[in-house]
Amino acid sequence: MELYIVRHGNTPLQGDVQYPIDPRLTDLGVRQAESLAHRLQNVQFDRIFASPLQRCVQTIAPLCAKTENDVQLMYALLEKGTRANYIGLPFFVLKGICPQVKENEFACCEKGLPAYETDEQAFERAKKVISYVRSVCKQDDTVLLVAHGTFNNFLIHAALRFEPRDDFNFSQDNTGLTLVRFLADNGHEHTKLSFMNDTTHLQNLL
């Protein structure tokens, strides 16, 4: 299996006192999403999963428009620190942003996060996501997860079977792309990190 993990496009600065709980992409973020779509349009994805927060739905929309892929909204991909029990905008609003969205029944976080989710809890959630994806997808599938900078760090740790450390994280720039391959050789499984936080598709953006 090939597992692509991508962070959403640029959003307003979180230090802004008016920063919304579920922000839209900035103009730069929209251009990043379009560049990502151009980069990935020739990849044959078998399954696409995305966080239900609108910045992730906006990020995947250009690719779905080019390829007609469906995208399943997975509440377990919510960003760590999302307000407790917040599950995103109404489904019809998200479908207006990306007509290919579908709701996914897998909800290890009961459609919303608890208050004060710890790093340990976030990592357990990430492990459940990786386990779920690997259980519902075929061995030779190509899969895309669209989520968030902090939670992607836990997803990559879980995919690589590394325990997180307080003094280390996998950097994830906006629309930074990571590819993890799960390989089998004579009954033995190997995990290969092919590339990490690749942003070459953004070279022509200001």
Domain ranges of the chain: 25-165
> For domain 25-165, is the CATH number 3.20.20.80?
no
Task: Label the pairing between strands 71-73 and 47-50.
Answer: parallel
Residue 17, class by beta-carbon neighbours within 10 Å (0-12 exposed, 13-18 middle, 19+ buried)?
Answer: exposed
What pTM does this model have?
0.93
Mean pLDDT for all residues in the chain: 91
pLDDT tens per residue across span 2-29 = 999 999 999 987 555 455 789 999 999 9
Q: At what angle do helices 119-136 and 149-160 cross, to 10 degrees?
A: 60
Q: For the chain, which ranges sit under pLDDT 50?
A: 17
pLDDT score for 107: 55
